């Protein structure tokens, strides 16, 4: 649903006009609801991305902006790609990394410092990785998140990553990943979320019109519908078998005749 259509829908339900709640105020209400939805979960599947980046010889730290330069997708007819905003929305968080022949294991920053002390000059093919927020302020903590590889790469190597990108701006009065907020913009969410977002805007509109009772009803419905969609979009993937009362948590293990590990003769 376009931003202008969402404003019209809310005003029609509340039976008000732009004289009661201006476009700017209504856009702010919509942006509030939008941010609540997109940041209510770390792992919304519709923000999943897969891309690659190249290491630099003798460099162990990489900002999350550096690993996300290859990100590219299209929304509202605009292709978001490049090295910086507004065209590059950036990777919000890295979930997994691998090279062409092995998966890198995630370890804590403190563990990495023990295995590979800061004064260590050891280099080679990376086997472990960790993250740390290097921002000097809370607002910069996400964009300045740093990924450290262990050991320090000894040569240029292609690393494949899977992670989650930032959402494109919607509503409000300012934009980071758009050149500007426009009435024709649509939310960077699946279509079923349009109704949920409208419910939040209705809640805030009734609240602004000093009808707390109606506002609370719409807020309760907003939470309920958001929970319903969360359950729908974050359930188990269809290929994953649902297992009850079993210790075999994968399809491969459930169909394998091999034991979970090698056993010695005295174990029976």
Runs of H (alpha helix) within the chain: 3-14, 23-38, 64-67, 109-115, 193-208, 212-233, 251-254
Residue by residue, pLDDT tens for the chain (268 residues) are: 999 999 999 999 999 999 999 999 999 999 999 999 999 998 999 999 999 999 999 999 998 888 888 999 999 999 998 777 787 888 999 999 999 989 999 999 889 888 888 777 789 999 999 998 866 666 555 556 899 999 999 999 999 999 999 999 999 999 888 889 999 999 999 999 999 999 999 999 999 999 999 999 999 999 999 999 999 998 877 777 666 665 555 554 555 545 555 545 454 4
3 state DSSP class of 202: helix
Residue 254 lies in a domain: no
CB-CB contact of 29 with 205 (8 Å)? yes
Q: Are 185 and 137 in the same domain?
A: no
Which of 150, 165, 180 represents a domain boundary (last residue)?
165
d(CA 260, CA 212): 58
Going by the DSSP 8-state scheme, the letter that residue 40 receives in this structure is S
Q: Are 142 and 55 in the same domain?
A: yes
Q: Are 37 and 58 in the same domain?
A: no
Which of 117, 147, 165 represents a domain boundary (last residue)?
165
CB-CB contact of 108 with 131 (8 Å)? no
Give the number of other CB atoms < 10 A from CB of residue 233. 16
**Helix, strand counts (H, E) of the chain:** 7, 11
Residue 246 lies in a domain: no
Which of these, 219, 208, 168, 204, lies nearest to 32 by C-alpha position? 204
3 state DSSP class of 53: strand
pTM: 0.84
Residue 263 lies in a domain: no
Q: Are 60 and 136 in the same domain?
A: yes
Q: Are 173 and 160 in the same domain?
A: no
Residue 26 lies in a domain: yes
Residue 23 lies in a domain: yes
Ramachandran region, residue 70 (left: φ > 0; alpha: ψ -120 to 50; beta: rest):
alpha
Q: Are 80 and 146 in the same domain?
A: yes
Which of 108, 133, 165 represents a domain boundary (last residue)?
165
CA 127 to each of CA 32, 106, 110: distance values in angstroms, whole numbers, following the listed order: 41, 9, 16
Q: Are 211 and 102 in the same domain?
A: no
Residue 256 lies in a domain: no
Q: Are 24 and 133 in the same domain?
A: no
Domains identified in the chain, total number? 2
Residue 150 lies in a domain: yes
Q: Are 128 and 189 in the same domain?
A: no
Q: Are 35 and 55 in the same domain?
A: no
- The single residue listed with the structure tokens 């809310």 is 10
Which of these, 12, 44, 36, 9, lies nearest to 172 by C-alpha position? 36
Q: Are 159 and 52 in the same domain?
A: yes
Domain that holds residue 178: 3-41+169-233
Q: Are 65 and 155 in the same domain?
A: yes
């Amino acid at each position: 649903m376009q931003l202008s259509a969402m404003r019209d829908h809310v005003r029609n339900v509340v039976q008000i006009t732009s004289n009661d709640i201006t476009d700017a105020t209504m856009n702010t209400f919509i942006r509030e609801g939008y941010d609540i939805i997109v940041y209510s979960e770390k792992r919304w599947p519709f923000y999943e991305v897969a891309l690659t980046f190249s290491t630099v010889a003798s460099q162990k730290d990489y900002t999350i902006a550096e690993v996300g330069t290859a990100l590219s997708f299209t929304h509202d007819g605009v292709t978001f790609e490049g090295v910086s905003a507004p065209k590059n929305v950036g990777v919000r968080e890295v979930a997994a990394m691998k090279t062409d022949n092995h998966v890198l294991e995630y370890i804590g920053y403190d563990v990495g410092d023990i295995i590979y002390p800061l004064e260590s000059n050891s280099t080679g093919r990376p086997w472990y990785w960790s993250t740390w927020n290097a921002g000097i302020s809370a607002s910069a903590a996400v964009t300045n998140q740093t990924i450290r590889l262990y050991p320090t790469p000894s040569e240029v190597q292609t690393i494949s990553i899977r992670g989650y990108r930032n959402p494109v701006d919607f509503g409000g009065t300012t934009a980071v990943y758009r050149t500007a907020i426009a009435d024709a913009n649509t939310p960077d969410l699946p279509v079923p979320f349009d109704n949920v977002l409208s419910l939040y805007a209705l809640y805030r509109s009734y609240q602004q019109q000093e009808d707390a009772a109606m506002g609370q009803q719409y807020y309760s419905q907003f939470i309920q519908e958001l929970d319903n969609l969360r359950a729908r979009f974050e359930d188990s993937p269809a290929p994953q078998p649902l297992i009850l009362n079993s210790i075999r948590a994968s399809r491969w293990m459930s169909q394998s005749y091999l034991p979970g590990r090698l056993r010695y003769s005295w174990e029976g």
